[in-house]
Amino acid sequence: DTAVSQTPKYLVTQMGNDKSIKCEQNLGHDTMYWYKQDSKKFLKIMFSYNNKELIINETVPNRFSPKSPDKAHLNLHINSLELGDSAVYFCASSHLTPLATSSTDTQYFGPGTRLTVL
Amino acid sequence: AQSVAQPEDQVNVAEGNPLTVKCTYSVSGNPYLFWYVQYPNRGLQFLLKYITGDNLVKGSYGFEAEFNKSQTSFHLKKPSALVSDSALYFCAVRDMGGTYKYIFGTGTRLKVLA
């Protein structure tokens, strides 16, 4: 009955490969996010989707492409992996769009996916 | 531009002593302020938030935080620290007068010594 789940938990791959990380939430939320946490634990938002539509797209390489087949899922596909992509990637979800002026949403985070690029 | 600062990379405190983890922010409009905790190899967990109303907010696990508008601060506090409180703490803000984006601080590692 995990609220926000991610697979895989660990991902080790070679430079140049393409990989995907999956995220699912069973909270009935309509907004989902991807964050990157680097080795210094700095947390930065990458993308946000509301009802399957992209609403926040921070400055990330276009090798990163989020895909939302439905509002309970937000997958992250990464092409041509580079050493600098090594990090922990967190998925999160919340109830209301992050751009709503009346939103007081709390974000619920998944357990993270540790990506290591060799 | 909006920002969140956690000036201390690490805070050490003896078990049973009060603890404070500092957070200051800069936004163009009214802030919504949050504290999250991250235990090793886990995702972030919500602790508490300030939206409006009473400046002193109480949250999970005995933590509380005080919103101070004049000092633009939202420090996290607990009267008596436990060893199990040792974790990484993140302050976050949503700028309700601008982009409405969530911005996280750089995190403060709390170490409670037995």
Instruction: State how far residue A35 is from chain B, nearest Cα, in angstroms.
Output: 10
Phi, psi of A84, deg, nearest 5: -70, -10
Residue B94 has pLDDT above 80, yes or no: yes
Q: Which residues are paired to B81 by β-bridges?
A: none
Give the best residue of B38, B47, B95, B108 to mutate against chain A (max A CB count within 10 A).
Answer: B38
Alpha-carbon gap, residue B38 to B55, rounded angstroms: 24
Confirm or reject contact between A104 and chain B (CB < 8 A): yes
Average pLDDT over residues B34-39: 94
Contact B107 A92 (CB under 8 A): no
Residue B114 three-state SS: coil
From residue A38, how far is each of A54, A70, A115, B80 by CA, in Å?
23, 28, 10, 31
Q: Under a CB-based contact definition with an 8 Å cutoff, are residues A101 and A37 in contact?
A: no
Instruction: State how far residue B34 is from chain A, nearest Cα, in angstroms.
Output: 8
Residue B109 has pLDDT above 80, yes or no: yes
Residue A85 three-state SS: helix
Helices (DSSP H) in chain A: which residue ranges? Answer: none
Alpha-carbon gap, residue B41 to B77, rounded angstroms: 24
Q: Which residues of chain A have pLDDT under 70?
A: 1-2, 96-105
Give the best residue of A41, A97, A114 to mutate against chain B (max B CB count within 10 A).
Answer: A41
Average pLDDT over residues B50-54: 86
Contact A4 B32 (CB under 8 A): no
Instruction: State how far residue A5 is from chain B, nearest Cα, in angstroms.
Output: 10
- Tell me the pLDDT tens digit for each residue of A5-36: 999 999 999 999 999 999 999 999 888 999 99
Q: What letter would DSSP give residue A103? A: -
Amino acid A47: pLDDT: 86
Amino acid B33: pLDDT: 92
Nearest residue in B to A55, CA atom: B101
Nearest to B90 among A4, A43, A98 (CB): A43
- Tell me the pLDDT tens digit for each residue of B62-82: 999 999 999 999 999 999 999
Q: Under a CB-based contact definition with an 8 Å cutoff, are residues A11 and A114 in contact?
A: yes
Q: What letter would DSSP give residue A107? A: P
Q: Under a CB-based contact definition with an 8 Å cutoff, are residues A67 and A75 in contact?
A: yes
From residue A29, how far is each of A17, A106, B26, B73 by CA, in Å?
32, 11, 29, 30
Comparing CA positions, the residue from B16, B45, B4, B87 lying closest to residue A112 is B45
